[in-house]
Amino acid sequence: MRVGTGDERIKQVAIAAAILAGVSCGVVTLLLGWRHVPGVLGEWLGMVAGIMSTPYFLEASFVVVGVLTVIVLNTVRRQREGDDFVSLEQLEARDQARANANRLPPATHD
Contact 49, 40 (CB under 8 A): no
> Which tens digits make up the pLDDT trace of 77-108?
888 887 667 666 666 666 667 777 666 666 66
Tell me if residue 106 falls in helix, strand or coil.
coil
> Which residues neighbour 19 within 8 Å (Cβ) at sequence distance 6 or greater?
69, 73
Distance of alpha carbon 1 from the chain centroid:
15
Query: What's the pLDDT band for 17 if we cut at 50, 70, 90?
Result: very high
Span 71-81, average pLDDT: 86
Domain regions of the chain by residue span: 7-80
| Residue-wise DSSP of 6-33 | HHHHHHHHHHHHHHHHHHHHHHHHHHHH
Tell me if residue 2 falls in helix, strand or coil.
coil
Span 58-81, average pLDDT: 86
Query: What's the pLDDT band for 30 if we cut at 50, 70, 90?
Result: confident
Contact 37, 62 (CB under 8 A): no
Contact 45, 30 (CB under 8 A): yes
